[in-house]
Amino acid sequence: MPAATRDRALEAAVELLGVEGVRALSHARVDDRAGLPPGSTSNWFRTRRALLGGIVEWIAERDVADFDPASLPVVAGVEDLVSGLSAMTELQSGPYAARTRARYALFLELADDPGLGDPLRRHRRRIAQWLERIVTEVGIPEPGSATTALMALGDGLLMHRLTVEPELELRPVIERAVRALAG
């Protein structure tokens, strides 16, 4: 079975998780959503656990591809940081909203499962390390705690925008936080 079938299944699984939640996830529903013949997803992922592991890996791969630091504009100051964080949060709550919902659903579902939860947490740590490097380069004091605050703000804004206020203007909130942290 070609890798394209695997990718279609994983993309459909993420969409299913992001729209209908973890309980909706099944091999048959993924096949149906992806327009694949019955049994296709289970050929790649024999168990639900294997499917969840594939989804975790796929989300991390997509995030790396979509937010590759090498392809992003250089952040040279506070204004660039505000613009970059605003753009990323817009994408995660707009075109990538289903992926974001799926990621949060997996964080909650897999919180007590080291085998599947640890890869999610490792991916998040890589993002935090990347952000901390930028925060340091911009000259924000106490970059470790500033990064934690910005990550928490991002999570809160995403949850709020995805569940309460889809039209929330993100930039003013992010700008206020970044400027306060910058002193």
Name the burial class of residue 129, with classes exposed (0-12), middle (13-18) and buried (19+) by CB atoms within 10 angstroms of its CB.
exposed
Q: What is the spatial distance between Cα 122 and Cα 119, in angstroms, rounded to a whole number?
A: 5
Domain containing 23 — which CATH number? 1.10.357.10
Residue type, position 127, single letter? I
Q: What is the DSSP letter of 165?
A: -
Q: What is the spatial distance between Cα 30 and Cα 26, in angstroms, rounded to a whole number?
A: 6
Domain with 22, as residue range(s), is: 3-182
pLDDT tens digits along 53-83:
999 999 999 988 888 777 778 899 999 999 9
Instruction: List the single range of 25-29, 65-69, 75-79, 88-92 with lowest mean pLDDT.
Output: 65-69
Which distant-in-sequence residues (6+ apart) come within 8 Å of 53 by Cβ?
45, 115, 116, 119
pTM of the model: 0.90
Number of domains in the chain: 1
pLDDT tens digits along 112-142:
998 988 898 999 999 999 999 999 999 999 9
Q: What is the spatial distance between Cα 83 and Cα 132, in angstroms, rounded to a whole number?
A: 16
For 84, half-sphere exposure in the C-beta direction (CA atoms, 13 angstrom radius) is: 21
Name the burial class of residue 4, with classes exposed (0-12), middle (13-18) and buried (19+) by CB atoms within 10 angstroms of its CB.
exposed
More confident position, 148 or 110: 148
- Residues making up the chain, counted from first to last: 183
Nearest of 67, 83, 69 to residue 174 by alpha carbon = 83
Q: What is the spatial distance between Cα 29 and Cα 16, in angstroms, rounded to a whole number?
A: 8
Mean local confidence (pLDDT), 172-181: 98
Report yes or no: 161 and 93 within 8 Å, Cβ to Cβ.
Answer: yes
Report yes or no: 59 and 99 within 8 Å, Cβ to Cβ.
Answer: yes
Residue 41: per-residue pLDDT: 96
**Is a pLDDT exceeding 70 seen at residue 3?**
no
* 3-state secondary structure at position 177: helix
